[in-house]
Amino acid sequence: TGAKVTVVRNDVPMAQLKKFIIDKAISHIIISPGPGAPEDAGICIDLVKNYAGKIPLFGICLGFQAIVIAFGGKVGQVKEPCHGKSSDIDFQDSLLLAGLPNPFRAGRYHSLAATLVTDELKVSAQIDGLAMAVENQQQKVFAVQFHPESILTPQGNKILTNFFNQSTHQESELK
């Protein structure tokens, strides 16, 4: 996508992160995959609560789960964990998934999933009753349970491009 990427750990104090975002004019935030539960993922949930509607946000796997929780939803164990599973995922009315074949193939690596998604987030993709993508298009918040960066997701670059095409914040919104 040609995006300039800066990695920030999830244990950075929020005040330091806020200064960094303003000083570096950060235009988009991706909350990455990782191990464990979203409640144990440092500042991820607080980051969503502080920046939803100000900077386009994209959560992947653990980041998806953090976004679901930040918007009042719940996450729990799945009946059958998926690790390296390629799945056909159906979607509807999605800015993030626009231009993809429907269904599309995606790589899944997770043992947790959304068990409750509140009305503030629209479930835009699912498989077997599990939310695979959620969006709040007005606040420019997007998240996927699957892994667009995986070789098992052939259309992953298109998903990232769709996210980066979301317009950025106004500096006044960040202060």
In a domain, 157, yes or no: yes
- Active site includes 80? no
Q: Tokens 């990232």 belong to which residue?
A: 160
Q: Which of 44, 82, 135, 147 is catalytic?
A: 147
Which sign does the torsion angle of CA 174, 7, 132, 151 carry?
positive
pLDDT at residue number 4: 84
In a domain, 63, yes or no: yes
pLDDT digits (tens, 9 = 90+) for 6-46: 999 999 999 999 999 999 999 999 999 999 999 999 999 99
Q: What is the value of pTM for the model shown?
A: 0.93
pLDDT at residue number 9: 94
Range from 121-130, 134-143, 148-157, 166-175 carrying the lowest mean pLDDT: 166-175
In a domain, 3, yes or no: no
- Quote the number of domains for the chain: 1
- Active site includes 147? yes
Q: Which of 44, 61, 110, 135 is catalytic?
A: 61
**When comparing pLDDT for 129 and 143, which is higher?**
143
pLDDT at residue number 168: 65
Whichever domain contains 137, its CATH number is 3.40.50.880
Which own/partner pairs from 16-25 qualify as long-range (CB within 8 Å, at least 24 positions apart)? Answer: 17/43, 17/47, 18/50, 18/174, 21/51, 21/55, 21/174, 22/171, 22/174, 22/175, 25/171
pLDDT digits (tens, 9 = 90+) for 97-135: 999 999 999 999 999 999 999 999 999 999 999 999 999
- pLDDT mean across residues, the chain: 93
C-alpha 82/C-alpha 20 separation (Å) is 36
In a domain, 80, yes or no: yes
Q: How many residues are there in the chain?
A: 175
Q: Tokens 């979607």 belong to which residue?
A: 91
Residue 63 backbone phi and psi in degrees, to 5: -65, -40
Domain with 47, as residue range(s), is 14-174
pLDDT at residue number 172: 46
Residue 65 · residue 38 · CB < 8 Å: yes
pLDDT at residue number 64: 98
In a domain, 42, yes or no: yes
